[in-house]
Structure 1
Amino acid sequence: MPGIRVLLYFGLVAVLPALCHPHTPCTLTQRTAICNSLRLSSVPSNLPQQIEELFLNQNIILKLQNGCLSRYPYLQTLSCANCLLNAVDEQVFSSSPLIESLNFAGNELHNEHKQFAQSLGSLTRLRILDLSGNGFTEDMVSELLQNLTSLEFLDLSGNVLLRLDEYTFRDLHQLKELNLERNILFEIDGAFDHLKKLKRLNLAFNSLPCLVKFEMTQLVVLNASHNLIEWFITNQNLTETFALETLDLSDNRLLYFPFLPTYNCIKTLLLPNNHIGFYSHLSQNTSSNWTNSVEFYNLGGNASNVTAELWSDDLHGDISSVELLDLSVNQVRYFPQGFLQKMPHLYWLRMRSNCLESLNLTGEDLPVTVYELDVSNNRLTELHAHSRSVSELNNLTHLNLSLNNIQKLPSRLFTTFPSLSIVDLSYNTVGLCHPKELRNSDSSACALWTNHSSLKQLHIAGCNLINIPPLAFDGTPLTYLDLSNNPDLHIGQDCLSGLSGTLQHLGLSNTGLQEFNFSPFKQLKFLNISKNLITELPKSLMTLNLKLLDLRDNMLSTFKPEHASVLAKRVQIAYINGNYFNCCQLEWYRTFEESKILHVADLLEVTCVDLHQRRLKAGLFDSILCGGRSTDESIFWYILLFISVGVSMVGVSVIYFLTFRPRLLPRVIKKKCWKPTTY
């Protein structure tokens, strides 16, 4: 977005060897002076006169006074971000006519904005201006931007702008990027009509209720996310092609699919977190109580000549160029007839968390170009596909069907997609078909996963799996398999045998696992066996070179010293907390702690159980407390022995003084208490 680019521009410094100047704490790099965070109270006056870039960010410069830049006539870039700056004199830039870039972000320049506006008037070459976070109102901004006809990049984010009109940016004929995010904008009345060169506009995080009669044909990127927008309607009467390529309307209150331009170039259409639905099923309602159109009014009460036919799904405009459509977290129950086919170049379709009740995975219902399809967390109960047309989706690579209620599907469905690489079927009620017992039927409660040469990742967590048939993945070179959260799963040694040469990531969390031979899986790098019933570390893990091992929430009491030594040399990252470690068998803890290869991410949180069944931090436990008797008794006898010895020594000392030194005590008392004092 515009603001991001401007900030990156101001932070750009040539990567060249730093030269130390004998009279300044600033870093000098050719013609750039970096004086950030030096607690300066004014502009340094002892820098080389030839500098072209001066960075004074994070200092305590309260005011830029006249003449403070007179030493630097070649200055082109000045950055004073976050300097507590509250005033700029009128003639500050009179001796720096070459300035093209100014960054005054994060200051308090609203206090003396009139003087600041006068100072900007002399900068005829100014192209980049960052005034974000200065508390400016729209009236102040109108004054500041007067006559800045050369400005191309403007950042006004983080101010207190409420309403924009045709006078706000009236002189900015060269403006290309404008950042207005994080203001309090609720109305825009013709503010951008004359910005004919504006390409990128950021209106995110404001309070705009709608964008109607949109006709900025030259705009390429529009970010209007995180507003209160209920309607987005373009001027349908324009025959000119809109240059818009990216439209972001996410996190708004859209009720209808946006009314896009009749002719456009939109490639990325972001609409997640709205209330969008389709209403063609209501179009035949003839009741007079239904409203068929709406009118829009601005703050002055003037009606806009925009009419929206509410129940027609034919007014979406041109969507033929869309490549990415994100409708996640909306209220879509179905797609209108032929809607998806209007997007012949669609590659990414994201429909997470909607209300879809049916889905046909065929080339007749989906564009054959679809690369990624995400319909997770919907209301799907059954998948439909026709073998004659499903093969047309030869571009489909990522398919996410998780968090539905799918119970039936064509058993050979997934093997018919020639490019399918990642499938997520987690949290559905779909089993694993036995390759040799498969029946020929259109719909089945299980899926076949054999001989799928393109499939690399398979997620079938939480599918209520009980058994995995032998050779269930034979001929399928999976590198990632997640079987987690199937608590009644019985994993035979031969059910994963076809994956021994390819599997790199295996998820077996919460599967009731007690023991398993992992030694055949030489390629395994990531193993999650947390939340199981493992009482002793499987010996087969000693043969693997794992990058990550998750052993959390099992029933381990200790690690054998030889196993701990092997893990410390072969594993890179481990998680082990939540087990029932014995506090008196923590030799492995020191081994893991001292290892330079193994990083136990939760080592400081690991607890152990002491002799009294209390959970203590393993790293703070003192092994001296381990023994046959209780800990409390041991401490008691130590204390009793210490007191006895002390009392005995005191008694012997008293007897010695009273017997052998009978006059010593009176002398000491007389010396301390009866010593004469002069008055």
Structure 2
Amino acid sequence: MFSNLLLLWSFSHELYLTEVKHDASKEQSWNNQNLYSVPLDLDVRLTRLDLSNNFIRQLHTLVLPYLEQLDLSANQLDLISEDAFENLAQLEELNLSRNALNNNTGSNSKALQSITELKSLDISFNSLSDDAVELYLRNKYSLDQLKMTGNVLTRLSHSLFKECKGLRAITIDDNLISVIEEGTFEPLTQLEMLNLAKNNLGQICDFKLRRLKYLNLSRNSVEFFVTREHDQLYNLEILDLSFNQLLYFPIVPKMNRLKFLHLQNNMLGSLNSEATMVSEANYLYNEIFNERTIRKNNLHANWRMMPLIYIDLSYNHFRTFPVETLSLLLSLETLNFGNNCVQNITWNIRNYGDSGEQRQLSFPSLKDLDLRSNGLVNISPLFLNALTKIETLNLQDNSVQPCASLDNVRSFQTTQQLNLITSCVAFGQLRTLKHLNLKDNNIKMLHPNVFQKNSLVSLNLARNTHMVIHEGALEGVQATLESLIISEINITSSDLTLPCMPALTQLKISNNHLDVLPSGLSCSPLKEIDIRNNTFITLNDSLIDALSVHLQVMFISGNNFNCCDSQWLIILKELQINLPDVSDTKCFTLGDSSIVVMEYLKSPLFHCLLHTKAQEVHFGQMLIVVLFLLVMLTVFIICTRKPCCSRSCIV
């Protein structure tokens, strides 16, 4: 029985080794081998061959009937013989990027025409012109993916893709394209991905690519994007118009599946008001499509139909927050509105009804709102009320002052009165808020119960250098808070009192003037704590021992620790707590000399006992000197008295 099993194992092992050897023979890499020509005697069974990053200039006939993938990128290839690919009947992927295919385009293009089953072609960075590319794309009926990055194309003609209508993905970024003729992409009924980034396109007048799912037009000079309104469904899901010259929101297809819209780094908001921008966009639509009568609001009508979940409007020129336009996006979950020029978010809604009551607008799905670096001072309570599901609010680098409590706001009844509240922001209205970033807002006072109605999980109060934290400021969130950052606020230990926070796992109190850790931390399951750049001399041993149950990482550099009062450090070392900056941490000895903590940890007793003995020796010497002086004084007194006695006896 055993011999049979051994024989079976031997047979299966031999079969396995044969398969591994066979698979290895199917793929070969000559990458970066300083080759000047294709190696001779290549295994005809190869299915993959990598010849990239060499110095090959000419390519002659290859006899590799099973080859499926060939990589010749980053060579000096400028001449391909006409029969070079005739024996590559199975070739599906060909990478010719970073060569010199702008030379000998006639011969080279004829060579490529012989590859009938090619699915993926990369001819990027070859300095190819419009005519050269058209030659290379002949007889590419089976082509599925095409990359032409970094060439010198200036115009895309309607005949460019006439022999490769099965394309699903086209990348033509980083060229010089300024004109796209009508009918260039429309016949490509399978096209789903189109990347035209880094070109010279000025406008998109009538977007017609209904099957496209991803369109990248970033880093062009696009001033507007307009789609004629009709009832045909567009599959577009991702539209990237970032880094352009847009003055208006894009007028997207009425029926669409758009989920991600990138509009950062444009000129949006330059027209001062939202109303002006909307009316100008509608006027532009009517001009482009020769609409004689101004009908409805095309921009808003189409935006109302968008299933958008993400929009990036950062780095634009907004002076007012476009409440009406953005509130139309009922599915919107993430909005990046950072780095604009909005100082006050008010609630000036147009179009009152017949009753004179203001329309009720909301952001029913918005969870993540980024308003950093705007110079914000006031946020209308009505706007905050509209954020019914907000979870993350980033207000970093503004001038926001938190209100003392929500009760201060309730006495204001009218819209005008609510908009006049400019002194503070009432965060208590945001019942769903979990993550709040108030870093660098020049906050003066953190009042008691300021977050009482919230259920914050993380709170960043860093770089509010003159902020006074009231003792009861964190009441209400102490049970939910998991991350607290109060770095760089110039606070001392006497000014910092933290309540018991049973959920706190991360605390950053670096760059302050603290010398004692708050005792309230003893009930927190801290996993990470940062105390860098304070004035700590030592840390409470019992507190560190309590924290070490959950502690994983601790940053300690930039303090003036006492080497010989470091039981806390021994505890951390023995428990193998990660101290990432321990090599940059120093401590001082009784002689006021500083040593690196790493050096101290190697032999802590040596450094401290040495100074203890020195101190003992110094004390002994002093004692001997004192005793010697006392003896000498006694002898002196005795000697000075004896002569007197003798004289009295003689007399």
TM-score class, shorter: 0.7 to 0.9
Distance 1:535 1:368, change over 3 A: same
**In 2: Cα distance, 1:32 partner to 1:64 partner:** 20
Could you list the per-position Cα deviations for residues 582-634 of structure 1 after superposition, in whole angstroms to 9, with x for gaps in the alignment? 89542633356899xxxxxxxxxxxxxxxxxxxxxxxxxxxxxxx9xxxxxxx
Residue 376 (structure 1) aligns with: 372
Distance 1:100 1:529, change over 3 A: same
Matched AA of 1:193: E
Residue 318 (structure 1) aligns with: 302
**Aligned residues of 2:556 and 2:579 also touching (Cα < 8 A):** no
Residue 36 (structure 1) aligns with: 31
Distance 1:491 1:462, change over 3 A: farther
Matches within 5 A, 1:389-538: 390=385, 393-407=387-401, 409=403, 411-412=405-406, 413-428=426-441, 429=443, 431-435=445-449, 448-450=450-452, 452=454, 454-463=455-464, 464-470=466-472, 472-474=474-476, 475-488=478-491, 495-499=497-501, 501-517=502-518, 520=522, 523-536=525-538
More displaced 10-residue stretch of structure 1: 255-264 or 43-52 = 43-52
**Aligned residues of 2:447 and 2:473 also touching (Cα < 8 A):** no
Matching of residue 61 in structure 1 with residue 59 in structure 2: no
Matched AA of 1:486: I
Residue 622 (structure 2) aligns with: none
Matching of residue 127 in structure 1 with residue 127 in structure 2: no
Matches within 5 A, 1:138-537: 138-190=130-182, 191-234=184-227, 236-277=228-269, 279=271, 281=273, 315=299, 318-319=302-303, 320-336=306-322, 338-359=324-345, 364-385=360-381, 390=385, 393-407=387-401, 409=403, 411-412=405-406, 413-428=426-441, 429=443, 431-435=445-449, 448-450=450-452, 452=454, 454-463=455-464, 464-470=466-472, 472-474=474-476, 475-488=478-491, 495-499=497-501, 501-517=502-518, 520=522, 523-536=525-538
Distance 1:451 1:266, change over 3 A: closer
**In 1: Cα distance, 2:202 partner to 2:38 partner:** 44
Distance 1:225 1:381, change over 3 A: same
Matching of residue 50 in structure 1 with residue 45 in structure 2: yes
Give the number of the structure whose residues are more often helix, by fraction.
2
Note the C-alpha offset of 1:484: 1.6
- Structure 1 residue runs without a partner (length 5+): 1-15, 22-26, 297-302, 436-447, 596-626, 628-679
The 3-state SS of whatever aligns with 1:344 is coil
* Residue-pair matches, total: 546
Note the C-alpha offset of 1:323: 1.0
Note the C-alpha offset of 1:482: 0.8
**In 2: Cα distance, 1:157 partner to 1:177 partner:** 13
Matched AA of 2:440: Y
Distance 1:351 1:113, change over 3 A: same
Q: Normalising by structure 1, what TM-score?
A: 0.71
**Aligned residues of 1:459 and 1:483 also touching (Cα < 8 A):** yes
Note the C-alpha offset of 1:572: 1.5
Matched AA of 1:432: L
Could you list the per-position Cα deviations for residues 142-166 of structure 1 after superposition, in whole angstroms to 9, with x for gaps in the alignment? 1111121211100001222222222
Matched AA of 1:411: S
The 3-state SS of whatever aligns with 1:524 is coil
Residue 86 (structure 2) aligns with: 94
Note the C-alpha offset of 1:206: 2.4
Note the C-alpha offset of 1:547: 3.7
- Structure 2 residue runs without a partner (length 5+): 1-15, 350-358, 407-425, 605-613, 615-651
Could you list the per-position Cα deviations for residues 157-177 of structure 1 after superposition, in whole angstroms to 9, with x for gaps in the alignment? 122222222232232211110
Matched AA of 1:327: L
**Aligned residues of 1:137 and 1:159 also touching (Cα < 8 A):** yes
The 3-state SS of whatever aligns with 1:586 is strand
Residue 104 (structure 1) aligns with: 96
Select 1:79's aligned residue among 48, 64, 71: 71
**In 1: Cα distance, 2:259 partner to 2:274 partner:** 30
Note the C-alpha offset of 1:223: 0.8
Could you list the per-position Cα deviations for residues 251-308 of structure 1 after superposition, in whole angstroms to 9, with x for gaps in the alignment? 22222212222332211111111110174859789xxxx9996699xxxxxx975789
More displaced 10-residue stretch of structure 1: 119-128 or 542-551 = 542-551
**Aligned residues of 1:467 and 1:489 also touching (Cα < 8 A):** no
CA RMSD of aligned residues (A): 3.9
**In 2: Cα distance, 1:522 partner to 1:282 partner:** 48
Matched AA of 1:33: Q
**In 2: Cα distance, 1:479 partner to 1:398 partner:** 14
Distance 1:510 1:587, change over 3 A: closer
Residue 549 (structure 1) aligns with: 554
**In 1: Cα distance, 2:237 partner to 2:89 partner:** 37
Note the C-alpha offset of 1:136: 1.4
Matched AA of 1:458: L
Matched AA of 1:527: I
**Aligned residues of 1:136 and 1:161 also touching (Cα < 8 A):** yes
Note the C-alpha offset of 1:225: 1.2
**In 2: Cα distance, 1:200 partner to 1:100 partner:** 19
**In 2: Cα distance, 1:397 partner to 1:37 partner:** 50
Matched AA of 2:375: R
Q: Normalising by structure 2, what TM-score?
A: 0.74
